[in-house]
Structure 1
């Protein structure tokens, strides 16, 4: 708008405001973030008392189709993309909006915002970034922001992700990777080092005129260089072979093992009473008595005769 036309427009607004007795709202503008739609404004200067506002939505730049939006509100904004208003905001729509002041029985003139095209003028918010350490690399998973109207894939198609990463405290050494997938593994990193990652969505500049917002910094540490697979496989294979061998030996020689551990031979009768020290009053306390254990010996399946000679207590 040229300077003379701007001055004439301001003078017209001032004259209309003075004629109606109420100053109009100031700094009226439409904004869009992640495909929402807000009408914002500032109150008129030097106005006291209760002030209410009424807003309208104009579909198309010609303002022919007008729909009422927020009515009799004291807030300094109106969410036109609110489903409760039923305005059916479209992702490729062209919109304009207006607002006026209501005070008692008077109302100011309507003040219009500049027109806005949803897909071209919305500001794309920051994505969500998650990191997973993978040895000497880091896996980055990016989640695009949710849109109030439609989705980022439907509006802009396949977007790209500008992934920037650097060792913590060394942002001047940042590296950049531009990918289309929402998951990428960053390699060639220093082991045992903490890296910070930041991601920004990129769309065709012909589709959107604003740069997207970058994500928050997310940091993760790398680990050591992973060892070769055979280093882990060899001990596991050895343990498996040893276990199988023990099971085979136990199955083949189970009879011999049971015979060794669970003998069926009993102690000869003359010696059964001598396995423990006697507790008879006739036993001399000064004499020492040592318990004994008898193990039978087999030779070709025959039991050797037990020595039945009386055992004398040790003096």
Structure 2
């Protein structure tokens, strides 16, 4: 009897102890590792039935390394591992733990993620250019968080879907295009066409979402392709001819544009300095005429009668 009572007490004590232990902090729920446009983000929900403010620690591991803590004591419900990655290839797993003061929950692991095969690729962006009755579809890949689409998926293709908007006709699709510029030529003139594009990266990832619908009106008639070629040839020929002309006739052209200034002679003389010692000039040769003195033999009476002045030299001085 005493033994049965002791056994009952021990069982009750063990039951109470386990109940007390189960009252600790619960672990986060719905833990999932996601990848969009080659990022790697761990997301989770708070523990069930918990209204307290909690913090979390999140970590990830690859197929070649152990767990690495990235977000510590964060209050957010997600952690971005992208900047910590060394490669997009291989498999990754995440885990998260909740904290409340000194209490810690158990770790909860996420699903396995193979980024290059399971990342979700977003839609491309599309613009349309009208060329006569044709539409040129220009495609721009989505921006990846890590690497670029063509570096990871070298054989990625585009599916281009288009239709006449009014009245709406049967949808047509051009598949398997690798070029980011595609011309749609089987269109009616003066009509509105709408286009959508999606990316096919590989079989594992599946197709991306379709891009936004983009619409544009076609022109009246087809633009002849030779017209653009002729215009380009004429422009290039004109440029070459202009360059050759400038090279050959540069001397004449420069003289025409910048003629030499020639001053008239009297301007040059007026600009010469008055002091020749400052600006020495060559001596000027003097021209002299020979003068002869002829003696006048008329008498003074004859000169007075003529009313003139005597020009006879003074011979008295000659004798001296």
Fold shared per TM-score above 0.5: yes
**Matching of residues 41-56 of structure 1 within 5 Å:** 41-56=44-59
CA deviation after TM superposition for structure 1 residue 19, in Å: 3.1
Indicate the SS of the match to 1:114: strand
Indicate the SS of the match to 2:74: coil
Provide closer, same or farther for how the CA distance between residues 227 and 129 of structure 1 changes in structure 2, counting only shifts above 3 A: closer
Provide closer, same or farther for how the CA distance between residues 26 and 229 of structure 1 changes in structure 2, counting only shifts above 3 A: closer
Provide closer, same or farther for how the CA distance between residues 55 and 227 of structure 1 changes in structure 2, counting only shifts above 3 A: closer
Deviations 1:127-183 (A, max 9, x none): 111101111110001111121111111111131110000012566611111211110
Question: Equivalent of 2:187, from 186, 189, 199?
Answer: 189
Determine the C-alpha separation between the residues in 1 that align with 2:30 and 2:74: 17
CA deviation after TM superposition for structure 1 residue 78, in Å: 0.6
1:134 aligned residue: 131
TM-score by length of 1: 0.62
1:106 aligned residue: 103
Provide closer, same or farther for how the CA distance between residues 24 and 17 of structure 1 changes in structure 2, counting only shifts above 3 A: farther
Determine the C-alpha separation between the residues in 2 that align with 1:16 and 1:126: 52
1:36 aligns with 2:33: no
Indicate the SS of the match to 1:119: helix
For structure 2, the residue ranges without an aligned partner over 5 or more in a row are 1-17, 231-320
Provide closer, same or farther for how the CA distance between residues 229 and 31 of structure 1 changes in structure 2, counting only shifts above 3 A: closer
1:143 aligns with 2:156: no
CA deviation after TM superposition for structure 1 residue 188, in Å: 1.2
Provide closer, same or farther for how the CA distance between residues 226 and 210 of structure 1 changes in structure 2, counting only shifts above 3 A: closer
Deviations 1:19-54 (A, max 9, x none): 361111110000001100000011112212221111
Question: Equivalent of 2:155, from 147, 153, 158?
Answer: 158
1:80 aligned residue: 81
Determine the C-alpha separation between the residues in 1 that align with 2:178 and 2:95: 40
For structure 1, the residue ranges without an aligned partner over 5 or more in a row are 1-14, 234-315
Determine the C-alpha separation between the residues in 2 that align with 1:25 and 1:149: 28
The number of residues matched between the two structures is 211
Q: Which has the larger radius of gyration?
A: 2
